[in-house]
A and B are shown apart, each in its own frame.
Chain A
Amino acid sequence: MYYGDTLLVNLDTGTTEQFSFDEVGVFGPGLAAGIGLYEKYGDADPLVIGSGLLTGTTAPASCLGFVVGKSPLTGEVAVSPLGLYAGAEVKLSGFAMIVIRGTSDKPVYLWLHDGVADIQDASALWGRDNWETTDAIRQEMGEGLIQVISAGPACEEGSRLASFSIDYWGSGDTAGLGAAMGARKLKAVALRGLGMLDPEDPEAYYEATMEMLAGSPAEPGFGRLSKGLGAGDVDGWLKPMVHRYRSCFACPAACNTFVKYNEPASVLAPDGVDEPGVMVTSAAAALWLMGGGWEAEPACRAMEAMARAGIDQVRGARELAEKPLKDPAGVAAAVSALTGSAAAGWPSSDRVGSGLFGPWVPPLGSPDEWMEAHRLGYLLGICPTYLLTSGIDRGALLGLCGPASGVELDTGRIAEMLP
């Protein structure tokens, strides 16, 4: 269930071209197409942005998109997730897949909207942090729901800690693909579309997905993750500052936790202080800092600083965890002085990801179960963490492919498409 063409961006020449999605038909949906396209244009070492078959629909947790590229950290092809609302907006932008090649001679950002691709001058954004960049692009284009995948200052500088950010809140890019953006002078990819996704059988699809949502667990916060890992009570640690929980697109489980520390968490009005706090999107980062003896408020300030700068919060937090700090100025200085010496991963686990996938998803279940959740999740566009924690019927999920696209997808084909 895609609409629109595949987009080929050439940053060397500042040009774009579009071609029919049939060209990626041979690879399969979602990440299978993304990797297929990466290989097709592999000589140019592209970045490929895409979404899963069901991304952006009413299917539970259908929030997932991805970026495929060569990790500056390992030199190997890696996948970084696009959660929150960015994955859904990739689908709605009107492009089935986006292949970005070359290096611009000046900072640019891509403005992808309703199947139109514009390469915009980003000279004024270069050097600005992710919060400023998101605000500036939304202001320029006139819409607050534009999703901005941006390369913060750490990405521009090619830091080993570089990680692209989704809007203001960081991301699960543990592979350093943010630095790959920065190296191309690609400051951001901004996405918005007002098209409609059109399932093959809209009524059957809607009914099936509503039935699945009705049976979905809806416990907010990171409790399911920390319990599953046998880690500490991260929700309790954050609780005095919690203002609200927020899910990614179409997800019944609102993991993301917005905390306030620049005004009381009890202030509900949106017209209080301009920047009251941060949305904690990385349970791993929070767990590392909590485990290191940090108090919640300075820990959240550290996560905000990393999100602004475009620093991988997991590795940053792991490095910071060793020296708990309290003073905001000291926290900011410590974030600036991060060296990238720590590896990504989760407390109480040796697992650091596998193959294409970094350790964004918690190490729940057996390695095979973890990998299967990734395959299914990245083909269909369903959050793997949700697959591992919700107990959702995967057969029913696969059964959505028919009413979505008219194509049945069985387990054997999944392994074939994404070994």
Chain B
Amino acid sequence: MHALNSRQHCDWGQRVKLSDAPHGGGRLGRAAADPAYLRYRRAFEAAGDAYPSVAVYVGAGASHSWMWFADLLERLGLHDIAFVTEEEVTTEGLSRFGVLMVGGGDTYAMAEGMGPGGAGALEGFVRSGGFYHGSCAGGYLVLRGVDRPPFTPFALVDGEMVNVMGSPPEPRCLEHKYLAPYGPDWVFHPVYGEVVLGPGIEGRGFECFASGDIKAPLFGGPVIASMSSVADFTGVSDRAAFLWPRDEAERLLEGRRAVVSASLGGGTAVASGPHLEHPLFVGANTLLAELLLRHLKEAPADTGAPSGRAPSTTPPHGLNPTAATAQVETLLGEIRRQVSNARIVGFGLEKMPITWRIGVKVWEPEKIRTFLDYAWRRLPYLYARALYLDPAELEPLAAGYAEVTRLARSLKITIESDTDSQPEAQSLLTRLKELTASFLSLYFRLRLEARGDHD
């Protein structure tokens, strides 16, 4: 045995960096820490009673991109967030909110899920002073020029999509991302990835354009022709995939509208081709923040629009007794265990050459881990606020993530056995969407309650 007891104390552990990387290192962490958000955070903080209450659409047709709104809103210091489905849209559930954000996915499923009643609810929401932001599918949904069933009633913003034709040419790559049916025609996507946006007429003077054009990701969103413009396509980055020859793709995009908006009653509706909310695109995020700030400043005070809940500084649950806290920690441990297990299976699935078409939306296995990562990165905060959690609200999450692990492992076995995995994949992705919305609801409730605390 080596005699080590006499070894000199070297304080190694005091000086080794203990990384908290699982909680958000890398590009995502760097983007989140960008000082560009500070200005907007302060502005929203100063909004007082106008502090917006935000609904994020997670209902029929929503893909995974709605989670990007969660990142964006958190960076902007907006924690009064709820996740709503088509049911809440159509049953006047929007009246509680000042803002509605709709991301990407299957526009058909969204329109059919909400139906004409939902279309009327959206228009009523905006006319009564609400702010609607739609990216990609959420943008197509409200363009007046997207005028075939089931989209016709959803007409909030003037604009035509120009990326539509009867017989699009064959794509050079990403065939599964290229087309979506539109009556007898096809909506096509000549570019997939990073594009460049410059200010349109309405966007001039926005702080986000002060140092030049900004970048944003275009993942199948509309290329728009409209008289109005918040932002125009000014170029395409080398970090995009070209499904058409590059020069032809650039000709289609350049000078077209990327983001358009309309005022209706006391409210604002915005349709965006690119995902302004994508967490790696700080400039695009700040453009969305500019639009929301402009709306809050310009919205008449007497529209009847909700001004948002006044942030609570007192935890509604108070401090849990010790026994409950121990139970909370056990449940958090179980959630952590199962989210980790499911992420690991998800990583295994990513190596398999398979995709699933659900409606008109193509899902890759990577999306499984994307959902799980949103919970994984935020779990440490739940641990930090364990005193404010009720075991009853964690139990469904723990059971849900255990179910997700089982579903994911079963899906992998099904794929390996070369049998149809579509039903299982759909079940898993649906469950993940529901669970992630539940998790984030809890997370943002804690964040909102902690406003004013030193957290």
- Is the CB of A28 closer than 8 A to any CB of chain B? yes
B16 touches A196 (CB 8 A): no
Q: Chain B's nearest CB lies how many Å from the CB of A419? A: 7
Residues of B within 8 A of A77 (CB): 1-2
Q: From the candidates A25, A39, A53, A192, name the one contacting B344 in the complex (CB within 8 A).
A: A192
B18 touches A2 (CB 8 A): yes
Interface string of B331-365 (1 = CB under 8 A from A): 00100110011011101100100000000000000
Known interface pairs A113-B344, A142-B408, A416-B7. Does A405 touch B15 (Cβ–Cβ under 8 Å)? yes
Q: From the candidates A2, A194, A417, name the one contacting B7 in the complex (CB within 8 A).
A: A417
B4 touches A35 (CB 8 A): yes
Closest to A196 in B: B21
Interface string of B18-53 (1 = CB under 8 A from A): 111110011000000000000000000000000000
Known interface pairs A76-B1, A194-B343, A355-B2. Does A3 touch B21 (Cβ–Cβ under 8 Å)? yes
Residues of B within 8 A of A115 (CB): 22, 336, 340
A141 touches B345 (CB 8 A): yes
Residues of B within 8 A of A23 (CB): 13
- Is the CB of A144 closer than 8 A to any CB of chain B? yes
Q: From the candidates A29, A114, A146, A407, name the one contacting B343 in the complex (CB within 8 A).
A: A114
* Distance in angstroms between the alpha carbons of A356 and B22 in the assembled complex: 34
B5 touches A39 (CB 8 A): yes
* Distance in angstroms between the alpha carbons of A169 and B337 in the assembled complex: 29
Closest to A419 in B: B2
B345 touches A25 (CB 8 A): no
- Is the CB of A413 closer than 8 A to any CB of chain B? yes
B interface secondary structure, majority: helix
Closest to A192 in B: B344
Q: Chain B's nearest CB lies how many Å from the CB of A200? A: 5
Closest to B409 in A: A142
- Chain A 82-120 residues near chain B, CB threshold 8 A: 94, 113-116, 118
B12 touches A29 (CB 8 A): yes
* Distance in angstroms between the alpha carbons of A24 and B341 in the assembled complex: 28
Residues of B within 8 A of A405 (CB): 15-17
Q: From the candidates B14, B16, B344, name the one contacting A142 in the complex (CB within 8 A).
A: B344
Residues of A within 8 A of B15 (CB): 405-407
- Is the CB of B175 closer than 8 A to any CB of chain A? no
Residues of A within 8 A of B348 (CB): 142-145
B4 touches A36 (CB 8 A): yes
- Is the CB of A195 closer than 8 A to any CB of chain B? yes
A35 touches B2 (CB 8 A): yes
Known interface pairs A77-B1, A196-B25. Does A141 touch B19 (Cβ–Cβ under 8 Å)? no
B13 touches A26 (CB 8 A): yes
Residues of A within 8 A of B20 (CB): 3, 198
Closest to B376 in A: A114
How many interface contacts (CB-CB < 8 Å) are there between A and B? 131
Q: Chain B's nearest CB lies how many Å from the CB of A230? A: 33
Residues of B within 8 A of A144 (CB): 348, 351
- Is the CB of A1 closer than 8 A to any CB of chain B? yes
- Is the CB of A22 closer than 8 A to any CB of chain B? yes
Interface string of A1-14 (1 = CB under 8 A from B): 11100000000000
A22 touches B5 (CB 8 A): no
Known interface pairs A116-B336, A192-B344. Does A197 touch B12 (Cβ–Cβ under 8 Å)? no
B8 touches A416 (CB 8 A): yes
B345 touches A3 (CB 8 A): no
- Chain B 355-398 residues near chain A, CB threshold 8 A: 376
B340 touches A25 (CB 8 A): no
- Is the CB of B317 closer than 8 A to any CB of chain A? no
Q: Chain B's nearest CB lies how many Å from the CB of A194? A: 6
- Is the CB of A21 closer than 8 A to any CB of chain B? yes
B344 touches A196 (CB 8 A): no
Closest to B369 in A: A194
* Distance in angstroms between the alpha carbons of A3 and B347 in the assembled complex: 21
Most buried by B among A42, A195, A406: A195
A25 touches B26 (CB 8 A): no
- Is the CB of B323 closer than 8 A to any CB of chain A? no
* Distance in angstroms between the alpha carbons of A146 and B7 in the assembled complex: 36
* Distance in angstroms between the alpha carbons of A194 and B23 in the assembled complex: 11
Known interface pairs A142-B412, A405-B16, A419-B2. Does A413 touch B340 (Cβ–Cβ under 8 Å)? no
- Is the CB of A27 closer than 8 A to any CB of chain B? yes
Residues of B within 8 A of A32 (CB): 12
Q: Please give 18 more A-B residue pairs, beta carbons under 8 A apart, in addition to A29-B16, A35-B4.
A: A1-B16, A2-B19, A27-B7, A29-B12, A36-B7, A42-B1, A141-B345, A142-B412, A143-B345, A144-B351, A145-B348, A192-B344, A194-B22, A195-B21, A196-B26, A197-B19, A197-B21, A419-B4
Q: 12 interchain pairs (CB within 8 A)?
A: A29-B12, A114-B22, A140-B409, A141-B341, A143-B348, A146-B344, A194-B22, A195-B21, A197-B19, A356-B2, A416-B8, A417-B10
Name A residues whose Cβ lies closer than 8 Å to a Cβ of B: 1-3, 21-29, 32-33, 35-36, 39, 42, 53, 76-77, 94, 113-116, 118, 139-146, 192, 194-198, 200, 355-356, 405-407, 413, 416-417, 419
